[in-house]
Amino acid sequence: MTENRIRDLREDSDLTQQQVADAIGITQRKYSYIETGQQQLTDDILIKLANFYNVSIDYLLRQTANPKRNL
């Protein structure tokens, strides 16, 4: 349920789908499809979301509960 984590991050940041979509360079419709699981995440989108929210890709993929990035 990666999509729920992405939605939760957006909602916790008080952002709209449009704001996140604009920030990562995709349409709101595509972002909505990603958030609801109707479209798969690409590597490029994963990286952009991780950078945007400053969290690890593992956190986005629910491989860890720790959002901290190991840089």
Q: What is the CATH number of the domain that holds 13?
A: 1.10.260.40
Q: Is residue 70 part of a domain?
A: no
Q: How many domains does the chain divide into?
A: 1
Residue 27 belongs to domain spanning: 2-60
**Residues in the chain with pLDDT values less than 50:** none
pLDDT at res. 67: 87
Short-list 38, 44, 53, CA closest to 3: 38
Q: Is residue 38 part of a domain?
A: yes
Would you state the structure tokens that stand for residue 71, as one six-digit string? 């840089």
Q: Is residue 66 part of a domain?
A: no
pLDDT at res. 52: 97
DSSP class of 55: -
pLDDT at res. 11: 96
Is the torsion defined by CA of 57, 61, 18, 37 positive or negative? positive
Q: Is residue 35 part of a domain?
A: yes
Q: Say how far apart CA 54 and CA 47 lie, in whole Å.
A: 10
